[in-house]
Amino acid sequence: MLSEKISKMLNDQVNLEFYSSNMYLQISAWCSSKGLEGGSHFFYKHSKEELDHMYKLFNYINDSGNIAIIGKIEEPPKSFSDFYSMIEKVYKHEQHVTKQITTLIDYCLSNKDYTTFNFLQWYVSEQHEEEKLIKGILDKSLMVQKEHIGIYMIDKYLSKISRDTTSS
């Protein structure tokens, strides 16, 4: 069984993952309203992944003999001034999620809850991947934002031809 404090911290994380899912679903709708089909599809898929993150925590709490509590989930932002500011917000959000996971891990270690510490390692790797993924989009968006669209297109082309030629 988990301590009351760790159970509460994990429940807060359940809510944060729910929030992430809702935030990305809302962004998917925003992208769609702007004719950004790629972005809409990307964030729709990402919203589902966040739900999986939430279920993992939800099940862990219940399997530990505690009870998962779904709290109030804040409304996500509905509109953005442009694509760049949207993706910047996403990056900041993922950094916030990483910080919360780190706080949880610190607490587990100092309170000798090695089982939860072990369980949370999956989230450590996941956050590393997610920050890398979103940072990549942010960097490319910055290029476009600064009107270096041509460079972005050339880089896309190079990436395509280098993949096409690696097997030959």
The residue ranges that bind ligand OFO (CB under 6 A) are: 17, 20, 50, 53, 94, 97, 123, 126, 130
Cβ 122 to ligand OFO shortest distance, Å: 9
Q: Given the complex with ligand OFO, which of 127 and 141 has the nearer CB atom?
A: 127
Q: How far is the CB of 99 from ligand OFO (least distance, A)?
A: 12
Cβ nearer to ligand OFO, comparing 88 with 126: 126
Report the residue number whose CB is nearest to ligand OFO: 53
SS (H, E, C) the chain: CCCHHHHHHHHHHHHHHHHHHHHHHHHHHHHHHCCCHHHHHHHHHHHHHHHHHHHHHHHHHHHCCCCCCCCCCCCCCCCCCCHHHHHHHHHHHHHHHHHHHHHHHHHHHHCCCHHHHHHHHHHHHHHHHHHHHHHHHHHHHHHHHCCCHHHHHHHHHHHHHHHHHHCC
Whose Cβ is closer to ligand OFO: residue 20's or residue 141's? 20
Nearer to ligand OFO, 94 or 113 (CB): 94
